[in-house]
Amino acid sequence: MAVTAARLRPRLRTLRLLIMDVDGVLTDAGMYYSESGEELKKFNTRDGHGIALLHAAGYRTAIVTRERTCIAERRAAKLGIREVHHGLTDKVSLVWAMLARLDLSVGETGYVGDDLGDLEVMQEVGFAAAVADALPAIKRAAHYVTRRKGGEGAVREICDLILASGVRPPGR
């Protein structure tokens, strides 16, 4: 049975922040290298537009990734994502510290992941989403699994789901 925005409304009711991994979520998980050794990543424009729509509706967004790369910082800056944390192995501690600083609870937080480094955070947040090509353990931990793969519009699908719920962050 398909999971709809209406069925997820109780989880989305208090959502104020959507945290996203990068590789495998905002990208297709590919690691591309030019002849000169420059690292390249492919981002989906529709995902970016979905994030912009969330911002316009009053939601906050954040990027938390293990990979240390300026590419994620540049993409986040273009999208207006203020919380960018990369190059870390302990995502859980970082997320808890970020939530404390932003005065948010885990119930007000959503997370989108694809691999084992995302699992612990996904098990704690109020809304956990996995991209279609995520590892099986990540899909099992998710409240919602996208139809689209990471880097191919999965984040846009989640943004549309959140917006279709009709719920807006408190104060909006």
pLDDT single digits (tens) 87-139: 888 999 999 999 999 999 999 999 999 999 999 999 999 999 999 999 999 99
Is residue 168 packed enough to be buried (19+ CB in 10 Å), middle (13-18) or exposed (0-12)?
A: middle
pLDDT single digits (tens) 145-157: 999 999 999 999 9
Nearest Cα neighbor of 85 from 21, 10, 156 is 21
pLDDT at 170 over 80: no
Strands 60-65 and 39-40: unpaired
Answer yes or no: are the C-beta atoms of 153 and 30 closer than 8 Å. Answer: no
Report the run of H or E that residue 61 belongs to, with start and end. Answer: strand 60-65
Nearest Cα neighbor of 18 from 78, 98, 74, 119 is 98
Answer yes or no: are the C-beta atoms of 149 and 132 closer than 8 Å. Answer: yes
Query: Helical H runs in the chain?
Result: 5-12, 45-56, 70-79, 91-102, 119-122, 136-141, 154-164
Answer yes or no: are the C-beta atoms of 138 and 113 closer than 8 Å. Answer: yes
**Cα end-to-end span (Å), the chain:** 32
| Residue range 53-82: mean pLDDT, rounded | 93
pLDDT single digits (tens) 74-101: 999 999 999 999 888 899 999 999 999 9
Answer yes or no: are the C-beta atoms of 149 and 30 closer than 8 Å. Answer: no
Radius of gyration of the chain (CA): 15
Answer yes or no: are the C-beta atoms of 48 and 154 closer than 8 Å. Answer: no
Task: Tell me the pLDDT band of 3, cut-offs 50, 70 and 90.
Answer: low
Domains defined along the chain, listed by start = 8-164 (3.40.50.1000)
Rounded to two decimals, the pTM is 0.94
Q: How far apart are CA 98 and CA 103, in angstroms?
A: 8
Check residue 1 and give its pLDDT.
39
**How many residues appear in the chain?**
172
Check residue 70 and give its pLDDT.
86
Check residue 46 and give its pLDDT.
97
